[in-house]
Structure 1
Amino acid sequence: MAASVGFLGVLIIPFLLLGLFDMIRVMTTKSITQTATFQLPGIGRRGTGILVGHSITLNPDAGAHDMNEPREAWALKSGLYTPRQLVESFAPLLDTVVLRLGPDPPNVRSSRCQLLDNLAANLDTNTREASMRFPNEDLDDSRTEIADQARGIGKTLVQYARSHTGAVVNPDLYLRSPCEGHLLTKPNVDLMFGPRSEPHLMQLFNEYMHQMVLLRDALIPFKNYEDVVIPIDGQAARGMRYLEPSRSEFLVQLWTRQVSQSAVVKLAQALLAPSILAQNSRTTSGYGFQYAHGLVLPAVLAGGETPFHLLQYIAARLVEDATNDILFDYEMQDYYSARRMEISGAAATQAPASYPPGTESPAVQRATIEIRPAVSDSDSPTVPSRHLELRLELDNGRSISVDVGQVCRGHRYAYIAHQASSASIPENGIQTGTDDAKTSDVIVHDATSVLRSGEDGLVTAKGGLHIIPVQDPLVSLALMGVLYPENVVLLPMEERLEQAENSGKGLEPKFVLWGGVERGGLRGRFQYSIPT
């Protein structure tokens, strides 16, 4: 079977799925228990995490309540699944093949292990058999992230499959599985087309490989992919095959263009909220959404080592009275045409080589994500949408609100300061700290003043190097939501200004957020640090 990637110029999610997913919503919502306010992992001062909606407790049952007859010889039951439960539900396809292959000869690797070795090769990213193959070098950040994510998810799914035993098998299971281009390893060519095999067993194993590939690819948008709760309609398609059009669209962008945030969000919507894709006539897919079984928001809001495009599944609800899926959309659809505000005035000063001593920077006492008034959009009346704001209550008594979409966009567009160059470090490896910033004068701003300047637009300047000392990572996030996102550089507190001057774009203005971030991930690690 030759490797192939389907190209679909126009992608349509069948409207038939909508009524069936609504049925699942009704059946499974009864098992949802709403509890206390949900808090994302702590990233601010004293472990302050962002509060978002109310927690919900879900009980994925892998379709145990579904008493309907399957639509064909093998199918998933309708219900809620975790990724592990889906892998376990695919197992009858594999284990029927193993059963029909018969007992293994002595002193050879078992057929089940051998077939799962093949799956591991399919879900890798640099093997001959890989379904999503990447070169080993020269990848941009977006493809690096997708490659790492695909590889990690693949290893997890294979581990699930290896650890699951005792699947109920039907020795008389037959089905037709179209060739999808998933390759066999040489030992498995001999196994599946040798004397132990039967013609229809390759059909079963091909379907098993394809279901696992579809699941792996569908989980790529999620940083915490093992936690995602997935609604499945067993009557809509065979297993995960309802995702094929959206997967094809994503792969086309992955291989022919730069991966966009919109592409990642749309793939997540295809898995969890297909009604948004089917009914959304607007030009934007938003940056997150709420579906019946949780929230999906950019993973940067959860802190830690931040990704580039990945999302975070959250077992919570923000829009309490919603009966439909909700799109979370940008307040500023086009940041380039948004109103721009001149940064508040400050005097030029001598450029400091290290973090300005004695700098006072506000800390966050409480952080919440809140809903702004409903968006009235006659262009897309069938998809409810909301704007979200990140609201910070600071220890200086002030409160700041910033659009969540712009915060996450600003983070994606920001630059991490380059590591100190080897040219600035002597041969003995000890940095003496004598290197000064190239620019003699800079303008140092108070973070609170900048945040307040951005209440009516995006903050910029006519030129110059502008430094904003920051200590609380939550303040850094808010600043990225108010600064015009063209030349913003993130500089860890303990590092030197010259590293920021050599980063980002060479043009002016340049804004340096000094502090509030550490190195790690593709876009920094957000963790509170006490200045020394």
Structure 2
Amino acid sequence: MSNYRLTVGEYSLIWGTRINLEPVPGPGHVLTRQAGGEWDWDLPEGVYLARDLVRELAVLLDAVVEQLGESAGYEPLLDNVKASLALSGRESVLQLDALALADPARTELAEQARRIGDTLARWAGEQAGEGPRFDKAILGGLRLRSRCDHHLWTPLVTNMLTGPNGGPSVMQLFNEYLHQLVLLRDLLLPYENWEEVPIGIERRVKGKGNEKGKGLRFTEQARAAFLSEILMGRPSHSSLLGYAQSGLAPELSAAGYGFQYRYGTILPASLGRPPAGGRRFLLEWHPVRTVPYTEGGGTSAVFDYAYPDYYSAPRSQAEAGVRADGSPDEGSLGGIREAHLEVAPVDGEPDRVQLHYRLQIGPQAYRVDLGQILRGHRYMYLGGSNRLHEDGGSTKRTAAAMLAQPGLVHADSGTHHISAGGNPLVVWALLGKLYPENVFVLHEEGDGLQGAGSSGKGYGAKIVIT
């Protein structure tokens, strides 16, 4: 098996073992016949992509149309689906458009919810256009008890469901269909490449107090807690990771900054883009086994920060980072094309590891904690070249000199310019080495500084990566 290579332009980050995964539902059936002759619905055990799940859910909508009779059709029901997945309007389940979203976290999540909801509604329409997958007799005999009765219907759908051909059983089928689609959208909210994320549906364990519910209902409790954070204020990165783990790897302990589960690796989406343009909050699925399987060990692992509390991490002074004789100059940095990730176990925690980002500059290898790199990216400011160069009186530092220092590098005063030679791999390494306060990454397309005011925090030392 080959290593996984995450490529951004001409630069690559290499780690782990690539996984070739073909998500497929298990051998079970979405419909099962009950003792009384009626049919029941649930998702069979297996591995699904989002589109697979929309296909499996479609039987519920088919049953609604069949049981309403010839006077009904898909179109008004699909209009209700679109309205339920929208972010505003009477039927909307998640009304984010009504909020003033000024922070990047909620802005990214709102954009994501809109994008996923629109696509799921379109897929539902395409699936309906293919026609029912089951015989009319089976669809007519499908019954289920839905605990979801809080969805609002459009006036036309209300008339259909409460009319002479409607009734409680048809209402429950449509409510369940709406609810499962909403659960699917919200399960996928954390992931920028949400269409690619494999979702494992495990066997339901029956028994009092141990019933996970039909379909995607196992996500309900974590979903409610996470959406409450979004609606009440800015959710934290750790809460996003916790929510992501609850849906893909609920067996894991407290969240770090990423994790491995049976079907791949989850890391912040910023890693796969240039530092100045990457998203700061969403996650991304990668088809890679980061942590090797060991005999007797699990398939899941949390990625831990080397400095859980970076405020108390050991520090070095930027002023101490002078260039030593023979150290590489900034011109040699542009030729670096690869960096690697290395796994380091955490003592006493078999399901937790640290990931070291290794960058080779000339004969010297430098290692930086990947978690601190991603934290530094979330806290950095973007600086336009014109505004930053107006400051004057700055001190130049070399990347190698900064990376060679122990702990996190900070400055007490002044402006310190560190050249990365225009290489994003070097920028990533520096973001993990610098204390994440008033750190700027030069963005040539920017017009001034973006972030906290026009000059970062507006006080204290600045460190500028150019």
Q: TM-score range by the shorter chain?
A: 0.7 to 0.9
TM-aligned CA deviation for residue 317 of structure 1 = 0.5
TM-score after normalising by structure 2: 0.86
**Structure 1 match to 2:209:** none
Asked if structure 1 preserves the Cα contact closer than 8 Å seen for 2:31 and 2:40, the reply is: no
1:509 equivalent in alignment to 2:461: yes
**Structure 1 match to 2:311:** 336
SS at match of 1:202: helix
User: Which amino acid letter does the alignment assign opposite residue 429 of structure 2?
Assistant: A
**Structure 1 match to 2:83:** 121
1:83 & 1:498 partners in 2: Cα distance?
Answer: 39
**Structure 2 match to 1:31:** none
2:312 & 2:33 partners in 1: Cα distance?
Answer: 52
Indicate which of 4, 15, 20 corresponds to 1:57.
Answer: 20
1:436 & 1:487 partners in 2: Cα distance?
Answer: 12
Q: How does 1:296-307 map to 2 (within 5 A)?
A: 296-303=266-273, 305-307=277-279
User: Which amino acid letter does the alignment assign opposite residue 434 of structure 2?
Assistant: L
**Structure 2 match to 1:226:** 195
Superposed CA deviations along residues 123-182 of structure 1, whole A, max 9, x for unmatched, are: 111222221111264431111011001111111211221122333252111112123532
Indicate which of 78, 86, 104 corresponds to 1:141.
Answer: 104
- What is the number of equivalent residue pairs in this alignment? 434
1:339/1:95 Cα in 2 relative to 1: closer, same or farther (>3 Å)?
A: same
Asked if structure 1 preserves the Cα contact closer than 8 Å seen for 2:318 and 2:411, the reply is: yes
Q: How does 1:81-480 map to 2 (within 5 A)?
A: 81-104=48-71, 111-134=73-96, 135=98, 137-164=100-127, 165=130, 166-168=132-134, 170-235=139-204, 236-276=212-252, 280=253, 284-303=254-273, 305-322=277-294, 323-324=297-298, 325-345=300-320, 360=331, 362-363=333-334, 364-372=336-344, 374-377=345-348, 384-394=351-361, 396-417=362-383, 437-453=389-405, 456-470=406-420, 471-480=422-431
TM-aligned CA deviation for residue 442 of structure 1 = 0.9
1:359 & 1:199 partners in 2: Cα distance?
Answer: 72
1:230/1:508 Cα in 2 relative to 1: closer, same or farther (>3 Å)?
A: same
1:220/1:484 Cα in 2 relative to 1: closer, same or farther (>3 Å)?
A: same
1:132/1:40 Cα in 2 relative to 1: closer, same or farther (>3 Å)?
A: same
Asked if structure 2 preserves the Cα contact closer than 8 Å seen for 1:331 and 1:403, the reply is: yes
Asked if structure 1 preserves the Cα contact closer than 8 Å seen for 2:338 and 2:425, the reply is: no
2:48 & 2:449 partners in 1: Cα distance?
Answer: 50
1:459/1:145 Cα in 2 relative to 1: closer, same or farther (>3 Å)?
A: same
2:388 & 2:244 partners in 1: Cα distance?
Answer: 46
2:303 & 2:66 partners in 1: Cα distance?
Answer: 48
User: Which amino acid letter does the alignment assign opposite residue 274 of structure 1?
Assistant: P
SS at match of 1:411: helix
SS at match of 1:290: strand
TM-aligned CA deviation for residue 64 of structure 1 = 2.7
1:466 & 1:310 partners in 2: Cα distance?
Answer: 30
TM-aligned CA deviation for residue 360 of structure 1 = 3.1
Asked if structure 1 preserves the Cα contact closer than 8 Å seen for 2:372 and 2:432, the reply is: yes
1:144 & 1:391 partners in 2: Cα distance?
Answer: 33
TM-aligned CA deviation for residue 190 of structure 1 = 2.2
User: Which amino acid letter does the alignment assign opposite residue 333 of structure 1?
Assistant: P
1:499 & 1:207 partners in 2: Cα distance?
Answer: 45
TM-aligned CA deviation for residue 198 of structure 1 = 2.8
User: Which amino acid letter does the alignment assign opposite residue 467 of structure 1?
Assistant: H
User: Which amino acid letter does the alignment assign opposite residue 271 of structure 1?
Assistant: G
User: Which amino acid letter does the alignment assign opposite residue 270 of structure 2?
Assistant: V
State which drifts further: 184-193 or 479-488: 184-193
1:257/1:447 Cα in 2 relative to 1: closer, same or farther (>3 Å)?
A: same
1:497/1:343 Cα in 2 relative to 1: closer, same or farther (>3 Å)?
A: farther
Asked if structure 2 preserves the Cα contact closer than 8 Å seen for 1:365 and 1:393, the reply is: no
Superposed CA deviations along residues 192-248 of structure 1, whole A, max 9, x for unmatched, are: 223342331110010111111111101011111111111102424210001111101
How large is the RMSD of aligned CA atoms in angstroms? 2.6
Superposed CA deviations along residues 298-335 of structure 1, whole A, max 9, x for unmatched, are: 11111154212111111110222244111111110000
1:167/1:340 Cα in 2 relative to 1: closer, same or farther (>3 Å)?
A: same
User: Which amino acid letter does the alignment assign opposite residue 399 of structure 2?
Assistant: A
% identical aligned pairs: 36
SS at match of 1:285: coil
Indicate which of 75, 78, 85 corresponds to 2:42.
Answer: 75
TM-aligned CA deviation for residue 499 of structure 1 = 7.7
2:436 & 2:332 partners in 1: Cα distance?
Answer: 22
1:70/1:337 Cα in 2 relative to 1: closer, same or farther (>3 Å)?
A: farther
TM-aligned CA deviation for residue 122 of structure 1 = 1.2
2:434 & 2:461 partners in 1: Cα distance?
Answer: 11
SS at match of 1:50: strand
Asked if structure 2 preserves the Cα contact closer than 8 Å seen for 1:88 and 1:167, the reply is: no
Structure showing greater relative contact order (alpha-carbon pairs closer than 8 Å, 6 or more residues apart):
1
2:149 & 2:310 partners in 1: Cα distance?
Answer: 41
Asked if structure 2 preserves the Cα contact closer than 8 Å seen for 1:78 and 1:234, the reply is: yes
Asked if structure 1 preserves the Cα contact closer than 8 Å seen for 2:340 and 2:357, the reply is: yes
SS at match of 2:80: helix
Asked if structure 1 preserves the Cα contact closer than 8 Å seen for 2:223 and 2:243, the reply is: yes
1:486 equivalent in alignment to 2:437: yes
User: Which amino acid letter does the alignment assign opposite residue 249 of structure 1?
Assistant: A
SS at match of 1:41: strand
1:70/1:391 Cα in 2 relative to 1: closer, same or farther (>3 Å)?
A: farther
Asked if structure 2 preserves the Cα contact closer than 8 Å seen for 1:100 and 1:197, the reply is: yes
**Structure 1 match to 2:326:** none
2:450 & 2:185 partners in 1: Cα distance?
Answer: 38
1:307/1:167 Cα in 2 relative to 1: closer, same or farther (>3 Å)?
A: farther
Structure 2 segments unaligned to the other structure (5+ residues): 205-211, 323-328
2:89 & 2:70 partners in 1: Cα distance?
Answer: 29
SS at match of 1:441: coil
Asked if structure 2 preserves the Cα contact closer than 8 Å seen for 1:48 and 1:366, the reply is: yes
**Structure 2 match to 1:24:** none
TM-aligned CA deviation for residue 400 of structure 1 = 1.8
TM-score after normalising by structure 1: 0.76
Asked if structure 2 preserves the Cα contact closer than 8 Å seen for 1:344 and 1:450, the reply is: no
Asked if structure 2 preserves the Cα contact closer than 8 Å seen for 1:467 and 1:512, the reply is: yes
